[in-house]
Amino acid sequence: MRFGEKLRKLRKDSHLTQAELAKRAGLGLKTITNYEKGTTYPQDRRVYSVLAEILGTSADYLHNENDDFISMAGKEFGYRGRIGAEKLVGELTGLFAGGEMAEEDMDELMLAIQEAYVDAKRRNKKYAPKKYQQQP
């Protein structure tokens, strides 16, 4: 689940409108709308913390999409797929540790690489467990 989907679900579970959440967080209504649509992400990491506090969750939960990727890889490609996904996320996180790239750009690159990983696993059926191979 992506940030915008998590934000929308938590907001609705808290019985808040977008306008109410925006006011409490000190953000504009259009900002919250764009977050939920997935067209933008917070540029300042502190925004995750503010939203998390209002919605009763952790900033890591709102920001971390890697857990969903690892879980999906395990379900679709088995144990080896999950291990491969964990390794990929770990190596990419280390690569980004230098802080030379904007957070939003890092997130986009991470998602693109994750999608490429899944595409490669699906195309390379001989290494996928038989029960996870797609039937013709």
pLDDT digits (tens, 9 = 90+) for 37-92: 878 888 787 898 999 999 998 887 887 777 678 778 888 888 888 888 888 887 87
Sequence-ordered strand ranges (E) for 3-123? none
End-to-end Cα separation, the chain, in angstroms: 28
- Residue 132: DSSP 8-state: G
Put simply, whether the predicted model's pTM sits higher than 0.75 gets the answer no
Tokens, residue 24: 């409490």
| Cα distances (Å, whole numbers) of residue 33 to 27, 86, 108 | 11, 32, 19
| Token couple for 78 | 């088995």
Question: Which one, of 31, 60, 29, 32, lies nearest residue 45 by Cα?
Answer: 60
Residue 2's pLDDT is 75
Distance, CA of 6 to CA of 63 (rounded, Å): 9
